[in-house]
Amino acid sequence: MTSIGNDVRAVWNARSLVMVMVRREVAARHAGTAVGILWPYLQPLLTVAAYYLVFDIVFSMRLGEGASTHAVGTFLVVGALPWMAFCDAIGRGMGSLLEAGAMLQKNPLPPVLFPVRAVLASTAIFGPLMLLVALCYAPLHHFQSGLLALLPLMLLQLLMSLLLAYALAIFAAALRDTVQLVGFALSVGIYLTPILFPITMFPENWRWVLWLNPMASYVLGYQSVLLQGQWPTMAVWAVGLVWIGLLAGVLNILIRRSRDQLVDWL
């Protein structure tokens, strides 16, 4: 069995433990806050509201004729929520092995459990928000069948986030600079994703650059589903699957080469 296959089996065998770890992770994120469990859900919504205030109210940004909607706030929500879910999953997943270093050195737990815990906890927070947005936006296009593509898109994004977070967690264990470099990349990545602007506003000769961002295809897919009620194009699915295949290959190599040294790096 491949290295990834061994880890998948380890997660499945420890699925009850994983669920407990996820619940504790979600609880830890709102511990000590005045609004309790509502805070992890309010924080993304407040961030989207800040984007709306800056780009629509202050700068009076317009989306142009090629946009799927002319309502800036509506457009921002659809792209910003998946992006924040991605950043949260990658940021927390990337540092998960470093945080669990002492525990892993004392207990023979599979390292994969910790990136999985971080990514699933992020999904438990942002997943319901995406479903709520879908419910609010569905009347805009009369509940067209394209809404059925939402769940596959979310599952593919979850899989991609798991693969990338685990790979970066291994890199971060070996090279601590990884955390700073990826953090910077995530902070500027929103400008290389059609979130703050429709893809039609990006220079046509340079649109290929957007596809180097693993989240670009998912954002375009969510825009098709939620703003237009249409199934994403084949290009969206193809690029998403290519990224998953590449990340799976890289992760398989990383797991194999770091198996004996990973805990020592922590």
Q: What is the mean pLDDT of each run of 10 residues along the chain (266 residues)?
A: 82 93 87 71 81 69 54 80 94 92 86 95 92 84 82 96 96 91 92 85 83 92 89 93 96 90 82
pLDDT at position 239, please? 94
pLDDT at position 28, please? 84
Q: What is the pTM of this model?
A: 0.89
61 and 159 in contact (C-beta within 8 Å)?
Answer: no
Please give the C-alpha separations between residue 124 and each of 27, 208, 261, in angstroms, as whole numbers.
11, 32, 32
Total structural domains in the chain? 1
Q: How far apart are CA 84 and CA 89, in angstroms?
A: 8
Q: How far apart are CA 99 and CA 102, in angstroms?
A: 8
Domain residue limits at 73: 3-265
